[in-house]
Amino acid sequence: MPLSNTPRDYAWGSPTLLADLEGREPSGRREAEVWFGDHPGSSAVVPDGRTLGEWLAAEGASTGAPRRLPFLLKLLAAASALSIQAHPSRDQAIVGHAREDAAGVPRDAPERTYRDQNHKPELIVAISDTFTALAGLREIDATRRLVAMLGSAGRPLAEQLTGPDAAASLRGAIGWLLSGTAQDDVDAMIAAAGAAAEGGGEFAGELALVGRLAAGSARDPGVVVALLMNLVTIRRGEGIFVPAGMLHAYLEGLGVELMAASDNVLRGGLTPKHIDVGELLAVLDPTPGAVPIVHPEELADGVSRYATPVQDFSLMRVVVGPQHPARLVISGAAIVLATAGSVEVRGDRSADTVVLTPGRAVFASPDEARLHFSGSGEVFLAQPGAD
């Protein structure tokens, strides 16, 4: 069953990336995301005009599909930085949601943090040549070297990072930067980073990023929070997995994003939206370490999987050619999204074949059992993860 949706025009979106993928003229708007799922925030539409959510509620059970999908698949097109953010664990979401309900905070209020009771682990896979992101907190010794490059302007931050417990020091530094009491120091560090970037060296890219972020978010403490984070550029086909509590921000590029179906976001800068510093610090995992890059694991010729430690979703990439069709067993309700070429998709029970071109998607109910792929191109298959 084909799915369609309208791009969401957030300020950080790209005016060209989605149009180029789909081979159409740009709309003139900043197109940021296209959602392929039943999330009520922007449910996809089926051919008879109903939303996918309405279709699942009325007819999904007869096909073995759940009333709600456990995952949400998106195309994400970033021309500038998204907000720095982290997502709660499921237990944290349940407690936080109940607390805000008890306090009478409306579900759609701007200051509402927990809009549902679910966690939101996510996976982003680059389909542009490169995709740039901030993901997780850098090893603290490296961060201390970076902060030293800011000279006297960086000393207040350096003092926050002197403790013996690296995670506690990083949590404290983030809390201090976002507290509202460090604005003069934030301003001084942003200025010092611009000067230090001109000298090149080990962290030239990180320091240059400060200038780019500050151009769009002047005086935002998140610009300095970014200096504590891993800056990474992945290549087409590589992914980044973001578990609960990991601080992250996508910066530039086009990707396929798959996440648990949730809208719970704790922001930590680079945004005019509500920031609850205390709650961010409560859900934050400040453990420093390397970026969790996910490389596709080849299962068969043209078929690869992005392994993640969650049950909500699983993502596979299928590349087919004239002499190389593919057939896959599906584990539940699935969504197939094309990102290159022209791929024909058919289920075991379907009489019709759906032809997918880049940016087009199709929903497959569990009773299809297997999906058959032919033609010449690339698709991504989202479905529930293994138990």
Q: What is the spatial distance between Cα 153 and Cα 149, in angstroms, rounded to a whole number?
A: 9
Is 160 inside any structural domain? yes
Residues 273 and 161 reside in one and the same domain:
no
Q: Is 104 helix (H, G, I), strand (E, B) or coil?
A: coil
| pLDDT tens track for 69-83 | 999 999 999 999 999
Task: Look at residues 252, 277, 294 and tell me which one is the last residue of a structural domain.
Answer: 294
Residue 336 dihedral angles phi and psi, to the nearest 5°: -115, 130
Minimal CA–CA distance to 142: which of 30, 266, 41, 229? Answer: 229
Please say if the pLDDT value at position 386 is more than 80.
no
Residues 115 and 238 in one domain: yes
Does 195 have pLDDT greater than 80? yes
pLDDT at residue 274 is higher than 80 = yes
Question: Distance between the two ends of the chain, CA-based, in angstroms?
Answer: 26
Confidence of residue 216 (pLDDT cuts 50, 70, 90): confident
Q: How far apart are CA 365 and CA 381, in angstroms?
A: 13
Altogether, the residues listed in the chain come to a count of 387
Q: Is residue 86 part of a domain?
A: yes
Q: What gap in Å lies between CA 278 and CA 275, rounded to an integer? A: 9
| CA pair distance 251, 12, nearest whole angstrom | 9
For the chain, list the strands marked E by DSSP.
2-3, 33-36, 71-78, 85-86, 122-126, 130-137, 229-235, 239-242, 248-260, 266-267, 293-294, 297-300, 303-306, 314-320, 326-329, 334-347, 354-356, 361-364, 370-383
Instruction: Look at residue 367 and tell me whether its pLDDT is greater than 90.
Output: yes
Contact between 37 and 44 under an 8 Å Cβ cutoff? The reply is yes
Supply the residues annotated as catalytic.
Answer: 267
Tens of pLDDT, residues 293-338: 999 999 999 999 999 999 999 999 999 999 999 999 999 999 999 9
CB crowding 13-51: b at 16 or more within 10 Å, else e: bbeebbbebbeeeeeeebbbbbbbbbbeebbbbbeeeeb
* 57 vs 55: CA distance, rounded Å: 5
At residue 128, the 3 state secondary structure works out as: coil
Average pLDDT over residues 365-381: 96
For residue 219, is it within any domain? Answer: no
Instruction: Give me the domain span that covers residue 316.
Output: 300-383
The 10 Å Cβ neighbour count of residue 181 is 9
Same domain, 123 and 183: no
Instruction: Give me the chain's average pLDDT, please.
Output: 95
Confirm whether 223 is domain-assigned: no
> Is there a single domain that holds both residue 256 and residue 107?
yes
Q: What is the pLDDT of residue 188?
A: 96
Residues 6 and 39 in one domain: yes
Q: Which element (helix H / strand E) includes 32?
A: none
Evaluate whether residue 189 is within a structural domain: yes
Q: pLDDT of 111-169, one tens digit each?
A: 899 999 999 999 999 999 999 999 999 999 999 999 999 999 999 999 999 999 999 99
- Shared domain for 90 and 50, answered yes or no, is yes
Residues 116 and 265 occupy one common structural domain: yes
Whether 222 maps to a domain, the answer reads: no
**pLDDT value, residue 292:** 86
- Residue range 223-236: mean pLDDT, rounded: 97
DSSP string for residues in 210-250: HHHHHHHSTT-THHHHGGGEEEEEEETT-EEEE-TT--EEE
End residue of a domain, out of 272, 294, 316: 294
Q: Looking at the structure, tell me whether residues 62 and 127 fall in a common domain.
A: yes
Residue that finishes a domain, picked among 169, 186, 214: 214
CATH number for position 362 = 2.60.120.10
Residues 308 and 206 in one domain: no
Answer yes or no: do 24 and 97 share one domain: yes
7-39 pLDDT, tens digit per residue, is: 999 999 999 999 999 999 999 999 999 999 999
With respect to residue 182, please indicate whether it lies within any of the assigned structural domains.
Answer: yes
HSE of 87, CA atoms in CB hemisphere, 13 A: 24
Confidence at residue 387, expressed as pLDDT on a 0 to 100 scale? 63
- Taking the CA atoms of the chain, what radius of gyration do you get in angstroms? 22
Task: Give the separation between CA 13 and CA 25, rounded to whole angstroms.
Answer: 16
Q: CA dihedral in degrees (127, 70, 267, 136; nearest 10)?
A: -60
Overall number of domains in the chain:
3
Query: Do 260 and 121 have their domain in common?
Result: yes
**pLDDT computed for residue 246 by the predictor:** 97
Task: Note whether 148 and 252 are same-domain residues.
Answer: no
240 has a pLDDT exceeding 80: yes
Residue 228 maps to a domain: no
